[in-house]
Amino acid sequence: MAGASLEIDRVEAAYGPVKVLKAVSLAVKPGEFVALLGSSGCGKTTLLRAISGFVPIASGRISVDGRDISRLPPDRRDMAMVFQSYALWPHMTAAGNIGYGLKLRGWDKPRIAERVGQMLAMLKLDGLGDRMVTQLSGGQRQRVALGRALAIDPRILLLDEPLSNLDARIREDVRHEIKALQNKLGITAIHVTHDREEAMVMADRIVILDAGEIAQVGSPEEVYNRPASAFVASFMGAGNVVRLAARREGDGIVLGAGDLSNEIRVPVGSISGLAGAQVIAHFRGEAASLGAADADDADRLVLRGRIAQASYPGGHWRYGVAVGSQHFMVDDPRRLNVGEPVGIGLPLSSLHLFAA
């Protein structure tokens, strides 16, 4: 089993008059694990189904190893899909489900049995082949669905949110197992998810979609630390947003100042497209620190406010800090009192800055 390259060139798809994919282009290398990430309605599932052939494309081209497959039916694309619901036959055993695709391809019984045995061993399902799938746990059913997909030796594996029905502990185990298996087999994988952490853990590259268009493509580290837009920053967890006054001063830009913050100087190139007098800054709660409300540090932006709420999710305290009419979520190891004045300290490296 060896992975294939996949090229999506200006693909568009629509449901009636509603355009769901808008000139989407993406190149996937052989053996690469790519996650399609985005909120509901962004087009990620439609893109996966267009790749598989279950959704027709209105225009554009989909190629595997340079061969145009845009008009081929699903069974001639050399792909396999694992569905969110697993789509297992409830009247069959685990072995029967895994071998079903091989039976359709005309394999003889001894050959099917050998292949199914290999899948059961590889997926840690030894001894469960004769058990009905209705008697299996969620994690075991997920492995059966994966085994059925892998049994036919596909060049590309398509994963449509296959972990969303599992509880948190099992989901964490299984995603590591899928990634290890994909690495071992060298298969190309396209994985749809709305779970940011799942995409970060499993993917070599993440494709973030927004309203049918690609907002950013990059490694997990790139999209997390260097978001290309305010949308990507917010989606990747930098959900605290503050508007800051901005003014040009020599070869830099001065941000902040006023009753609610100090001012800091940033390089001109750190804010692309700045034309007005405001900048939008995104930051993550875990990247901030709480200190004295009157702190003034040239290397950090300090937002002055009061603790409005407190909770303990485990390992640290999570505070809602009111700064004027805005509220920001900030993590801190210390226990602080509601109503206490504090300053939210933000190093320049923790700020994702965009022109307002």
pTM of the model: 0.88
State which fold the 238-355 domain adopts. Answer: OB fold (Dihydrolipoamide Acetyltransferase, E2P) (2.40.50)
240-249/252-256 β-pairing: antiparallel
Domain 6-228 falls under CATH 3.40.50.300: yes
pLDDT 10s digits, 137-166: 888 888 888 888 888 889 999 999 888 777
DSSP H/E element including 104: helix 100-104
Residue among 298, 276, 204, 283 at smallest CA distance from 241: 283
Please say whether the beta carbons of 178 and 202 come within 8 A.
yes
Q: What is the pLDDT of residues 74-126, one digit of tens each?
A: 989 989 988 877 788 899 999 999 998 898 888 999 999 999 998 898 888 88
179-235 pLDDT, tens digit per residue, is 888 988 899 999 999 999 999 999 999 999 999 999 999 999 999 999 999 999 999
Residue 237 binned pLDDT confidence (cut-offs 50, 70, 90): very high
% of the chain at pLDDT higher than 70: 98
Q: Can you give the residue ranges of every domain in the chain?
A: 6-228, 238-355
Beta bridge partners of 310: 319
Q: Kindly calculate the radius of gyration of the chain based on its CA atoms and give it in whole angstroms.
A: 25
What is the rounded distance in angstroms from the CA atom of residue 146 to the CA atom of residue 156?
13
